Amino acid sequence: MHNNPMRKGFTVIEVIVTFVILSILIFFAIYSFRYSIANIQRATYYLPQKAAAFDMLDRTIGGIYYYAVEKNEEKEKENFENYFHANATQMVFITVAPPYTEEISIAKLALEKKRLILSYAPLYQNEVDFLKPKLPQTTTKVILFEQVEAFDLSYILPNKEHISQTSGTIPTGVIMHITIRGEKYHMIFSISSNYNGSKAREYHEKYPM
């Protein structure tokens, strides 16, 4: 009478199946690791860049100056208005807090070829008539964001009304919707009259007319 011997080792098929399963698991582990590293690298690069750009916008828009200019049409009363022209896609204004300079400047925020660009130039210079300011051809341009897929501006009036365009009246806030590389952002920038007043006094003390 013969006893059945105990089975030892693996068959070739079992070894092959095990090898294939391990290879698949290793492949997905390496792919997940590389994907995580790529996300970390993108976040490390883009997040500080976006934060710096939003901070620059916050300071520049927050520093919008209540700069009075004469209206085009003649009226008996109140022939002056604030220099501020804006719609859903761009705005032009005077700011006491432009990037990289302390000079009061005329500025424009607009989307150009999927890039959100802040253009500005000193208000008091030969190329600009400060009584009837207009953005000159020679400006400093700061590219805030690239690969912008959607961009929209709206404005908050003192009575809390939201509008898509305004001219001659400075709002209390600017609402910006922007989509960058598939990521959507909703930002509200406050325009403070106290900030403008203190900054304007500080500027005119430093640069008297």
Q: Which of left, alpha, beta for 31 (phi over 0: left; psi -120 to 50: alpha)?
A: alpha
Question: What is the share, in percent, of the chain residues with pLDDT greater than 90?
Answer: 40
| Mean pLDDT in residue range 148-164 | 93
The candidate with the shortest Cα–Cα distance to 202, out of 58, 106, 93, 97, is: 97
pTM beyond cutoff 0.75:
no
163 pLDDT tier (thresholds 50, 70, 90): very high
Q: Kindly write down the DSSP assignment for every residue of 51-79, as one continuous string.
A: HHHHHHHHHHHHTB---EEE-SS--SS--
The pLDDT score that the predictor gives to residue 178 is 93
Q: Which band of pLDDT confidence, cut at 50, 70 and 90, is reported for residue 193?
A: low
> What mean pLDDT, rounded, does the chain reach?
80
Residues 125-141 have pLDDT tens digits of: 888 887 888 888 899 99
If we measure between CA atoms, which residue out of 181, 187, 174, 60 comes closest to residue 115?
Answer: 181
